[in-house]
Structure 1
Amino acid sequence: MKKTFKIYAVIFIVVMVILALLEVNKKETTNWRKNFNIHEKSPFGLFVFNNEAKDLFKNNLKKIEQTPYDYYTQHKKEVHNIIVIEKELDKESWKKILDEVSNGSDAMILVSHAPKDISDSIGYHSSDISFEEENVLKLTDKKYQNDFIKLDKFPSGRGFSYIKPNVEVLGKTVEKNNSDQANFIKIRFGKGTIYAHSEPLFLTNYYLLKPGNIKYAQDVFSYLQDRETIWFVENDTKVSRFFMRFVLSNPALKYAWWLFLGGLILFIFFNAKRKQRIVPVLEPLRNTSVDFVKSIGNLYLQEGDFHDMMAKKAQYFLNKVRMDLLIDTQNLDAEFAKKLQLKTGKNIEMINEAIVLIRKGQDPYAHVMKEDLTRLNKLLDEILK
């Protein structure tokens, strides 16, 4: 028991030292994934915008966690504003939004990729218009000409490659080496209006925290009327309800938990192994048939009765031919040789030589030598292979 305890102690100390070194040398890494999550404080989350949205929309903002299809199926709304920020929606939800706009609502769609059939029905095509690492977003209205935002981290480069003649361009992507490209447009749709922006990155934490950039966002949303605004956000029910979520969310507690589980498993493993009942060794049953055959073979060799052995080998072979190959063995003639050659695919000379030796073994007066038995055995094994 003392030896086992020492093993546990050494393992525990080694693991603790490794965890301590990992914790000391751990570097905080920045998550640059474009998640557009309202609770994320990473560079491309929407935590800042989510906190500023109430003031931006004068406390007339309502965040909805349902899909537009589910929400509008359950609620009949007066005309209002709709906001969608880089959110994947099913086609039925898009159609519900278009129905609301047709009835007089306004929609602000800030997505880099919209379903093609939806964008086609609205009146534009979106695609990659830039591959530069930096660009500038500007509005075309003269009263906003001093308000712009510079995208210097992973801009999507998306814009509108084609728009219908009746579509109004409200904003553009400006680059040094390329001509200006539309990225913010206004489309009349039924009784309402759709505002489509192809670069929602300007709403993320990284850009809104830079001085002056909030003004561009305010200018974009100023096109919406002063009325109730519905913002469709990601469903917060995706947050884990697991009872261990607090422990697992804290690095120190998480390491302690996994260390405890690892130690428990090691203890169970070693303890069970030490107390396990000795399993008796059972000798496998011997195949006495093989020993019997060897004994009979040795007896024949000692007696030197090669003729009898040759006759039995021939008898066994012919019986095998009748049962497996369905060939009549009464007459060992040319026709028999031909059938055997067709069924086995062996050389006819080999088969004829084997027939001669079989007849010799069947002849009680023939003189059989050890070499004849050896040759017959080899031929018959080769034919039946």
Structure 2
Amino acid sequence: MNKTFKIYAAIFIIIMVIMALLEVNKKEVTDWRKNFDVNEKSPFGLFIFNEEIKHLFNNNLKKIDQSPYDYYSRYKKDPHNILVIESDLDTESWNKILDQVSKGSDAMLIVSRMPKEISDSIGYYDSNISFEEQNVLKLTDRKYQNDFIKLDKFPSGRGFTYIKPEVEILGKTVEKNNEDQANFIKAKFGKGTIYVHCEPLFLTNYYLLKTGNVKYAQDVFSYLDGKETLWFVESNTKVSNFFMRFILSKPALKYAWWVLLGGLALFVFFNAKRKQRIVPIMEPLKNTSVDFVKSIGNLYLQEGDFHDMMAKKAQYFLNRVRMDLLIDTQHLDEEFVKKLHLKTGKTVEMINEAVNLIKKAQDPYASVMKEDLGRMNNLLDEILK
């Protein structure tokens, strides 16, 4: 184990210890959101109500996890009770509920808002909102006068502002500084009855756990008869099929899991960076043509074959004259000298001397000296300059 790895391990352990201490000393934060979720144990969830509802309806209750529209489109039911608690239903589902009520079913709708076309059909037009911090929910029936519930945490303050004369008021919201306003009504609709309560808070965990508050809920549901009750439940909690769902469902395990993944990612990052293979330096290819020419030149000089070198130089010169100047080099006569003189502008004497050296180089029996090679090389280069 090298020194670098020990340093990383020590840093990781220190971070884990700090995280654990923060987790142990972390204060529980209460979620006061009004979620109305049957699986939530937060103050405004419906966990307690969900556990006790079977006793309220004498075990004659069925939970439906489909929308009313989907359910009644598939099943035909005899007259029954319908329960909806603060669910965001679409207009088609509300219309399905009204259709069932018109055929003889009874509906208990405990919702703070309802589409206007539905409320108009029932017999009220709007709801009033009060901003008092506390109020009391009471029922109008004398036999329930002693059963009330005090809302001291975030009451919605909702109540019905206009109610048709044929609609019966079953409950009111009582406030210290305002007039009483109806919050629980009963309306005949076709062959059935619709009950609407606009303050669902009384069913939440926070209020049901308070002594005496359950009696108010029992009184509200007592208006429904003993028929089978269908409760259309809208749960905010979806069951995940993810293989890590157990670990991610527990805050401590979830926290440890993410810390572990973060530590592994840091370890891999720094370790890979430390052991990265060195990229080799690629030198560009060298131009060896000049070196090759020098080597060949040195070879000829060492051999002392000046005649062969003159012959190759002459051959190269005549080839350039043919290609660049377009002059025939088959006969190195006065005509050739004249044409080369006109195209290069060099003197006739210089060209004649160069031609004589070329002829000497082409004669395999001619005797040449080193000075002849040097002179011819200078003359030919000067002519084609």
* Whole-angstrom CA distance in 2 between matches of 1:47 and 1:235: 11
Deviation, structure 1 residue 118: 1.4
The alpha carbon displacement at 1:23 in A equals: 1.6
Within-5 A mapping of 1:209-224? 209-224=209-224
Distance 1:176 1:67 in 2: 39
Contact kept in structure 1, 2:172 and 2:184, CA below 8 Å: yes
Q: How many residues align?
A: 284
Residue aligning to 2:117 = 117
Contact 1:66 1:235 (8 Å CA) reproduced: no
Deviation string 1:22-77 (CA, Å, 9 cap, x unpaired) is 12320011111111111211111111111111111111000000000000001000
Please state whether the residue corresponding to 2:12 is helix, strand or coil.
Answer: helix
Corresponding residue of 1:18: 18
3-state SS of the aligned residue for 1:163?
A: coil
**Is it true that 1:165 corresponds to 2:174 in the alignment?**
no
Unaligned runs of 5+ in 1: 284-385
Letter in structure 1 aligned against 2:101: V
Cross-structure match for 1:208 = 208
Structure 2 portions without partners, runs of 5+: 284-385
3-state SS in 2 of match to 1:17: helix
2:317 counterpart residue number: none
- Greater Cα shift, 236-245 or 35-44: 236-245
Alpha-carbon contact 1:129-1:161 (below 8 Å) kept: no
CA contact (8 A) 1:65 1:236 kept: no
Partner Cα separation in structure 2 for residue 265 and residue 147 of structure 1: 60
Matched to 2:69, the amino acid is Y
Cα distance in 1 for residues equivalent to 2:237 and 2:131: 37
**Matched residues in 2 for 1:151 and 1:219: separation?**
17
Q: Is the Cα–Cα contact under 8 Å of residues 139 and 148 in structure 1 kept in the other structure?
A: yes
Matched, 1:27 2:27: yes
Larger displacement relative to structure 2 (13-22 or 33-42): 13-22
| Separation in structure 1 between the aligned mates of residue 4 and residue 116 of structure 2, nearest angstrom | 67
Q: Structure 1 residue runs of 4+, over 4 Å off?
A: 280-283
Give, in whole Å, the separation in 2 of the partners of 1:19 and 1:126: 52
The root-mean-square deviation of aligned C-alpha atoms, in Å, is 1.8
Q: How does 1:34-73 map to 2 (within 5 A)?
A: 34-73=34-73
1:124 is paired with a residue whose SS is coil
Q: Which residue in the other structure is 1:306 paired with?
A: none
The TM-score normalised by the length of structure 1 is 0.71
The 5 A counterparts of 1:224-373 are: 224-235=224-235, 238-279=238-279
User: What's the CA shift for 1:281?
Assistant: 6.8
**Does the CA contact (< 8 Å) of 2:82 and 2:229 recur in 1?**
yes
In structure 2, distance between residues paired with 1:255 and 1:236: 23
- Tell me the CA shift for residue 254 of structure 1: 2.1
**Deviation (angstroms), 1:183:** 0.3
CA–CA distance in structure 1, aligned partners of residues 146 and 255 of structure 2: 52
Query: Cα offset for 1:274?
Result: 2.5
Cα distance in 1 for residues equivalent to 2:58 and 2:218 = 12
Deviates most, 251-260 or 186-195: 251-260
**Which residue number in structure 2 is paired with residue 371 of structure 1?**
none
User: Which digits, 9 at most, give the CA deviation of each residue in 1:309-363, with x for residues without a partner?
Assistant: xxxxxxxxxxxxxxxxxxxxxxxxxxxxxxxxxxxxxxxxxxxxxxxxxxxxxxx
Structure 1 residue 282, shift from structure 2 partner? 8.4
For 2:237 and 2:71, the matched residues in 1 are separated by 16
For the 8 Å contact 1:129–1:181, the answer to whether it is kept is no
Letter matched to residue 118 of structure 1: I
Task: After TM superposition, give the deviation of residue 263 of structure 1 in Å.
Answer: 2.2
Name the residue aligned to 1:6: 6
- The answer to whether the 8 Å contact 1:183/1:197 transfers is yes
**C-alpha contact (below 8 Å) 1:81/1:229 kept by paired residues:** yes
Q: How far 1:3 moved relative to its partner?
A: 2.6
Question: Structure 1 residue 190 and structure 2 residue 162: aligned?
Answer: no
Partner AA of 1:248 in structure 2: L
CA shift in 2, pair 1:241/1:229, >3 Å: same
Task: Return the alpha-carbon distance in structure 1 between the equivalents of residues 280 and 118 of structure 2.
Answer: 74
Q: 1:167 Cα deviation (Å)?
A: 0.6
Q: State which drifts further: 269-278 or 17-26.
A: 269-278
Who is 2:82 aligned against? 82
Same amino acid, percent of matched pairs: 77
CA contact (8 A) 1:126 1:158 kept: no
SS at match of 2:127: strand
Q: Distance in 1 between matches of 2:48 and 2:36?
A: 11
Which has the greater radius of gyration?
A: 2
> How far apart in 1 are the matches of 2:281 and 2:175?
81
- The CA deviation at 1:128 is 3.2
Tell me if the contact between 2:39 and 2:235 (Cα under 8 Å) persists in the aligned partners. no
Letter in 1 for 2:45: G
What letter is aligned with 2:23? E
The amino acid that maps onto 1:167 is V
Pick which of 272-281 and 206-215 moved more.
Answer: 272-281
1:209 & 1:253 partners in 2: Cα distance?
A: 30
| Cα distance in 2 between the residues matched to 1:53 and 1:252 | 32
Which residue of 1 is the match for residue 153 of structure 2? Answer: 153
| CA–CA distance in structure 2, aligned partners of residues 2 and 123 of structure 1 | 81
The 3-state SS of whatever aligns with 1:8 is: helix
Letter in structure 2 aligned against 1:54:
K
Match of 1:95 in 2: 95
Partner Cα distance (1:257, 1:129) in 2? 46
> What TM-score comes out, normalization by structure 2 length?
0.71
Opposite residue 36 of structure 1, the aligned amino acid is: F
